Each structure stands twice: as structure tokens, then as C-alpha cells.
Amino acid sequence: MVKKIDCRNLACPEPVLKTKEALEEMEEGILEVKLNSFSSIQNVKRFAKNQGLYISEKKDGKDTIISIVKGYECEIPYKQTNESKSFWTLIIGAVITAFLASTCCLGPLLFLIFGISVGSLSFLHIFAPYHIYFSIAAVLIILYLWGNWFFKLRKKPVCEGSICKNYVKYLTIGTIFVAILVTYPYWAQYILIGE
């Protein structure tokens, strides 16, 4: 059952009250709420989420239609709590593996930049034979995260939370760090020769 209500041009909290009333009249089904003000859209979405209901949002010209599902099991495959944990775990993993990939040439760079003794960093050379494996792992993690954005997150009807809203910005920064660290052993020699 799909029920539709028009809450355009209503002052707050009227849209939320009408939405609440319409949901209470329904046992199960989909309630479509038509809105045209930013504050009303945000308030109705917040209300539905606080009720534990699944929502989706779509544009209808200048208006917005929020669909609220009541009484059906809706599985949301990418939950906010897991989103943040898995994103940061993967991006930190990519940066660490990229760092390990660049350890063969890290000592001389630190000496040139900061003038610190690199004798204490000599243990890092044990990772040098595994440079290619660390590089591949870092690149694969970054590719997975970009694929996740293009094929999954970008198509989400509602994007809430700092990770979802800033996913591309955070991932771009992580990608730049990984690119610098993974390619560092190849271009570092030109910097070191120039000094």
C-alpha cells in the first residue's frame, strides 16, 4: 500500500506532525511525503530515522518526495557504523602498506630533510624484498575503495554521516598519500642525486 501526503508550503513542525499522523494510521506500507523546503525535508527525514524506519529521497521537479517504509523488513546493506569502521581500517591499511613499500629509501630522505641519523632505521631494510607486495596491496585497497564509491555509495538514495558526505575528499587525500609512498622509491633517486 502506498499512501501520499502533500506537506508543501507548511510551516514547521506541521510536516512532521502530518507525517506522524499518517504513519500512525498505517499498519504497513509506504508513505510518500511531498515537501518543498529544506528544513521540512531534514525534519521529516530525522523523524523517520528516529522511528527506525527506512527512507529514500527523490526529486520531483522543485519538490522532494521522501518515501518512508513502515512494517516491512528493509535491509540496508551499508550501515553507517560499519561504513566508518571499514573505510578508516582500509584507508589506514593502504597508507601503512604503502609506507612499508617505501622503507627501502626512507632513511636517506629523512636524513636529507630533517638531518636525523638513520642508523636507528636500518631495521626497515628487512621490508625491502617485499616492496612489490606491499605496493600491490596498497593499490588494491585504494582501487577497492574507489570501486565501492562508484558502484555502491554514489547510488545511495540518502547520504548521511561524515564518511558518506566526505568520502571522495578523504579517499582522494588517502590516494595521494599512497601514490607518493608507493612511487617514492622510483623518483627518490632523482631527488637524492640532485642534492
- Name the residues annotated as catalytic: 12
The x, y and z cell numbers of residue 190, run together, are: 632523482
Burial of 63 (0-12, 13-18, 19+ CB in 10 A): middle
Query: What does the DSSP assignment read for 11-78?
Result: PTTHHHHHHHHHHHH-SSEEEEEEE--HHHHHHHHHHHHHTT-EEEEEEETTEEEEEEEESS----SS
> What is the C-alpha to C-alpha distance for residues 92 and 106, in angstroms, rounded to an integer?
19
